[in-house]
Amino acid sequence: MGDLKEFFGAAAADVEAKLSELVAEPGRLHDAIRWSLFGGGKRFRPALLLASGETFGAAREQLLQTAVAIEMLHTYSLIHDDLPSMDNDDLRRGRETCHRKFDEATAILAGDALQARAFQTIADDQRLDVSLRLKLLSGLSLAASRMVAGQQVDLEAEGRRLSIDQVKNIHANKTGALIEFSVVAGALIGDATVAEIEAIGEYGQNLGLLFQITDDLLDVTETTESLGKTAGKDARLEKATYPSVLGVEGTKDLADAVYSASLSALLKLKRPNELLAQIAKFIRHRQS
């Protein structure tokens, strides 16, 4: 996995540089935005977009601004999810959450601003032609809507007993939509065919599921220190998780099945995709 580590490291560095360039205003609101944007995030979604886009032959400079927009949207969702009226979390990536470091109003506005900025970042990307930018904006807005819908159902589900399909449905929206869009966006920028976009979308759906399944497993098996966020939180909040429905062993079996499905989707691509396969493998076995 040496190549993958290198890829993730370089991707994160490129994403951070582009983010710094795009979010550089003064003032308390932007201090809060930067606190959350540069809080040690793994840049997983933008890296995924870069991996997908480069698989389809796009140049990194064509991909970076959309990658950064996705990270902005993701960061906004984390800031709002952490709020007292939602998951009420004090810790994110080993540091205070935005509303703890600043205040609640500033955290809400920082999230709001990041959502607007995500759309602006794609709309104003002069490297991409007009119809491509419009496709990306349409996809981003749909993913943004699905994230919110998933978070709402997730909050309502707290304390309730759910079926495995209900759990999958929550996470397909809450976490999956943006992961799926990340790989699809890369393919769109790489000018993939309709069949390729369908295949990569299937990969993305499975990867999104896998990401949430392994996230749930980590919440059960790891410590707050190793995660950099509060461990055991799902059980405390009686969240709709895979282990709560399937048990730990059943969840591991599901992870294996979903991992296989992601690789099957890649087979349909009919072009080299080793990096995307490695990413799926990495997510299956991640420790944080």
**Under a CB-based contact definition with an 8 Å cutoff, are residues 15 and 286 in contact?**
no
* Sign of the Cα pseudo-torsion (242, 220, 73, 113, in order): positive
Would you say 21 or 256 has its CB closer to a second copy? Answer: 21
Three-class SS of residue 173? helix
DSSP 91: E
Tokens 């959450």 locate to 97
Closest approach of a second copy to the CB of residue 121, in Å = 8
What residues make contact with a second copy under the rule CB under 8 A? 27-29, 80, 83, 85-86, 103-106, 108-109, 111-113, 115-117, 119-120, 123-124, 130-131, 133-134, 137-138, 140-142, 144-145, 148-149, 151-153, 155-156
Q: Which is nearer to a second copy, 110 or 283 (CB)?
A: 110
At closest approach, how far in Å is the CB of 281 from a second copy?
32
* Closer residue to a second copy (CB): 233 or 286: 233
Strand partners, 91: 96
Q: Residue 78: which of 67, 69, 89 has the closest Cα?
A: 89
Complex with a second copy: residue 117 or 284, whichever CB lies closer: 117
**Minimum gap (Å) between residue 7 Cβ and a second copy:** 30
- We find the least distance from the C-beta atom of residue 160 to a second copy, in angstroms, to be 14
Helix (H, G, I), strand (E, B) or coil at 92: strand
Neighbours of 135 (CB within 10 A): 16
Q: How is residue 158 written in tokens?
A: 């707290």
CB 125 to a second copy: min, Å: 10
Taking the least distance from each CB to a second copy, the nearer of 75 and 251 is 75
DSSP conformational letter for 95: E
